[in-house]
């Protein structure tokens, strides 16, 4: 087990390094430059040169990359010229808001998707299964922003029940003052997520139902309730651990579409602004943080999975 | 998901794939087996009996006819706008009304369908070809090369796909071609993983050893033998990628990074409708959305049906 954790961590570290190299290269090989983005299209060549020297952009690429990594290890994610503040302070203000929005939606989605998937598996091939499958099929074929638009039309325009805009405010505290505004964005995200999660739970539960120990339990005369609670739930929820691990980056990176549609400035919105204004430092810092979250999420899922289910020991070549 | 599943599935692959291909390599490497016994025919027949799959195929064919044949029969001006006829409600002359700059919405749906479908198909094709080659090479060579190649895939997967697409799209001039390249460049990852998994099993089989013994080079083994045997998996995945690419294109258009007018795509049409949510202009909100959902559902249905048919093929 220790060996496995060690190898998986080493792999994770390699992945993280490659992620940073990929993003670094994308930013440097695509057209445009930080100097142009900051100084504007009318800047003189002299001013550009000056800017590049001051900020180290005249050094060779490997040196620039190394300087970036060096700063990273000192907790410095860089400075955003567009927002005129450090990238870490940007993340500090936007990350909690996204985490609230996406986290809430994922928890709700899990609470709905687990019973839904298990009910489908128990009645596999019956009417309930087919109708719920159709619902989730449509659920993940709907463009997120269109779903949000439809909800706005229904709840804000026709029923006049809920605001069409997310709560405004710079921090989670102020956002929570207006919980009604959160309902539509959370609902949109939840519907889309339930569609994905429930398919996953369904197939996992179907696999479990085919196992020998389920047949044994049925033969022993275990009640349906006992079967579901004691045998089915526990075993088919193992893969859900993976799902939660894989969802972690989403919690941090926010939901661009939903944030843009409901005007709820969080991480997704930050990334969009940074990409369209060529805010290199923010793009780089954001991707590093989200990439790290992904890698850690995967790693945690694998380790928890392996430790929860002794039948599974990954081969640690 | 669990390891035991993977092993079970690979055992099936192991038994079933060997027989027909061993014959092929030994007797006539290029010729396909006799029509009545062809496993692909059977798969096609299974597919034809799958009601959901055929429904999906029907919808896709309808959408193709609607988008490509439609504008030939129903001619509308989709290049220049007409500010005297904006946001007109549906009428005999404009069956689905006009949009914010006076384009005929029904005609625009057809033209928009062309770019949405083209982007979907082309991105999926790039993903299928590149992903297969990457996965097959990685799985076949194994060892350190395999580790390195797979870590690259992991790294791309570590960045949420919408972010990666957004990042790339913000730096190029949006057009159908650049959208295809961008969406293609991030869609190959899943295919590469799946193909590698299958190749890891396939490469231990005897006919691969035979090919190596006959002195075939690595690239020949990959392209002639391995790629052929993962076609089923790749086709299934490619179908899903078409659906994904259409959705991602819509998302990009919503974020203002899709092809600009007069080019049209369904996602872009929906985004224009966004400005009229409170005006009750339903013809700007529903038709394009329904087109996207129908098409994406259709590709998912076909993908599921093809997967079932291919798996049945393997079980025989």
Among the partner-chain residues A150, A207, A271, the one whose CB lies closest to the CB of B163 is: A271
- Are A138 and B171 inside 8 Å of each other by CB? no
- Residue with tokens 């990238």, as numbered in its chain: A87
Each residue's pLDDT, cut to its tens digit, for chain B (316 residues) gives: 333 333 333 333 333 333 344 334 334 444 444 445 677 777 788 888 888 889 999 999 999 999 999 888 888 888 878 788 777 788 888 888 888 777 888 888 999 999 999 999 999 999 999 999 999 899 888 888 888 898 888 888 878 788 888 888 888 888 899 999 999 998 999 899 889 988 888 888 888 888 888 888 888 888 888 888 888 889 889 999 999 999 999 998 988 888 887 888 898 888 888 888 888 788 888 899 999 999 999 999 898 888 888 776 555 5
Whether a cis peptide bond, with omega within 30° of 0, leads into A210 is no
Cβ <8 Å between B270 and A295: no
Contact between chains at A22 and B159 (C-beta distance less than 8 A):
yes
Q: What is the largest CA-CA distance in chain A?
A: 85
Q: Which of B3, B277, B292 lies at the smallest CB-CB distance from A143?
A: B292
- Residue matched to tokens 């599921």: B304
User: Per the CB < 8 Å rule, is A256 touching B166?
Assistant: yes
The CA distance from B160 to A90, in Å, is 20
CB atoms within 10 A of CB A38: 17
**Pairs across A and B, CB distance < 8 A:** 138
Nearest CA in chain A to B299: A141
Q: Which residues of chain A neighbour B289 with C-beta distances below 8 Å?
A: 142-143, 146, 149-150
Q: Model confidence over B56-76: pLDDT tens digits? A: 999 999 999 999 998 888 888
ipTM of the assembly? 0.83
- B156 → closest Cβ in A22, A261, A272: A22
Record the pTM: 0.84
Contacts of B172 in chain A (CB under 8 A): 30
Cβ distance of A314 and B267 shorter than 8 Å? no
Q: Is B167 helix (H, G, I), strand (E, B) or coil?
A: helix
Q: Do A137 and B300 touch (CB under 8 A)?
A: yes
User: How is residue B95 written in tokens?
Assistant: 């069956």
**Candidate from B162, B255, B296 with C-beta closest to A141:** B296
Q: Give strand pairing partners of A85.
A: A80
Instruction: List all residues 6 or more positions away from A211 whose beta carbon is below 8 Å from its beta carbon.
Output: A235
Which structure tokens are listed for A304?
A: 């928890």
Q: Determine how many CB atoms are found less than 10 A away from the CB of residue A28.
A: 14
B256 contacts A276? CB cut-off 8 A: yes
User: Which tokens in the block code for residue A311?
Assistant: 């039948």
Can the peptide bond before residue B262 be classed as cis, meaning omega within 30 degrees of 0? Answer: yes
Dihedral angle sign, alpha carbons of residues A174, A183, A138, A149:
negative
């Amino acid at each position: 087990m220790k060996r496995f954790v060690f190898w998986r961590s080493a792999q994770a570290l390699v992945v993280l390094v490659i992620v940073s190299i990929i993003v670094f290269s994308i930013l440097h090989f695509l057209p445009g430059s930080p100097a142009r983005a900051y100084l504007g299209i009318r800047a003189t060549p002299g001013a550009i040169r000056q800017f590049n020297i001051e900020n180290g952009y005249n050094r060779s690429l490997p040196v620039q990359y190394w300087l970036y990594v060096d700063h990273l290890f000192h907790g410095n994610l860089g400075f955003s010229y567009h927002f005129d503040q450090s990238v870490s302070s940007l993340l500090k203000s936007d990350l909690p808001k996204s985490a609230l929005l996406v986290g809430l939606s994922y928890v709700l989605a899990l609470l709905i998707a687990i019973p839904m998937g298990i009910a489908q598996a128990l009645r596999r091939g019956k009417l309930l299964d087919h109708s719920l499958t159709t619902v989730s099929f449509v659920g993940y074929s709907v463009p997120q922003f269109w779903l949000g638009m439809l909800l706005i039309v229904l709840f804000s325009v026709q029923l006049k029940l809920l605001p069409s805009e997310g709560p405004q405010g710079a921090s989670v505290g102020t956002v929570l003052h207006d919980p009604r505004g959160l309902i539509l964005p959370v609902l949109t995200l939840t519907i889309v997520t339930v569609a994905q999660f429930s398919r996953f739970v369904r197939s996992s539960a179907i696999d479990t139902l085919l196992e020998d120990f389920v047949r044994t339990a049925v033969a022993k005369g275990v009640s349906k309730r006992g079967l579901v609670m004691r045998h089915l739930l526990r075993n088919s929820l193992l893969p859900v651990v993976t799902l939660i691990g894989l969802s972690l980056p989403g919690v941090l990176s926010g939901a661009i579409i939903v944030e843009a549609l409901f005007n709820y400035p969080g991480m997704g919105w930050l990334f969009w602004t940074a990409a369209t204004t060529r805010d290199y430092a923010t793009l780089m810092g954001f991707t590093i943080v989200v990439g790290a979250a992904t890698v850690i999420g995967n790693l945690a899922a694998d380790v928890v999975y392996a430790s929860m289910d002794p039948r599974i020991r990954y081969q640690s070549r | 998901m669990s390891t035991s599943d993977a092993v079970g599935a690979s055992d099936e692959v192991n038994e079933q794939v060997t027989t027909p291909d061993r014959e092929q390599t030994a007797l006539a490497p290029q010729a396909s087996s006799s029509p009545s016994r062809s496993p692909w025919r059977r798969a096609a027949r299974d597919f034809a009996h799958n009601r959901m799959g055929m429904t999906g195929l029907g919808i896709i064919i309808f959408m193709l006819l609607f988008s490509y044949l439609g504008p030939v029969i129903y001619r509308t001006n989709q290049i220049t706008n007409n500010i005297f006829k904006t946001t007109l409600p549906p009428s005999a002359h404009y069956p689905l009304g006009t949009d914010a700059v006076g384009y005929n919405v029904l005609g625009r749906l057809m033209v928009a369908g062309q770019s949405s479908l083209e982007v979907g198909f082309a991105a999926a094709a790039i993903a299928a070809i590149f992903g297969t080659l990457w996965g097959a090479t990685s799985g076949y060579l194994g060892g350190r090369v395999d580790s390195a190649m797979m870590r690259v895939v992991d790294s791309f997967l570590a960045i949420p796909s919408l972010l990666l697409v957004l990042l790339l799209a913000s730096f190029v001039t949006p057009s159908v071609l650049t959208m295809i390249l961008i969406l293609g460049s991030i869609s190959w990852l899943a295919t590469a993983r799946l193909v590698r998994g299958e190749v890891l099993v396939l490469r231990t089989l005897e006919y691969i050893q035979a090919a190596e013994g006959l002195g075939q080079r690595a690239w020949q083994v990959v392209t002639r033998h391995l790629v052929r045997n993962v076609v089923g998996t790749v086709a299934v995945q490619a179908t899903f990628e078409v659906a994904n690419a259409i959705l991602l294109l819509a998302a990009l258009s919503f974020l203002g990074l899709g092809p600009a007018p007069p080019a049209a795509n369904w996602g872009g049409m929906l985004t224009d409708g966004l400005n009229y949510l409170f005006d009750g202009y339903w013809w700007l909100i529903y038709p394009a959305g329904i087109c996207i959902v129908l098409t994406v559902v259709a590709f998912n249905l076909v993908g599921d049906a093809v997967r079932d048919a291919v798996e049945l093929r393997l079980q025989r």
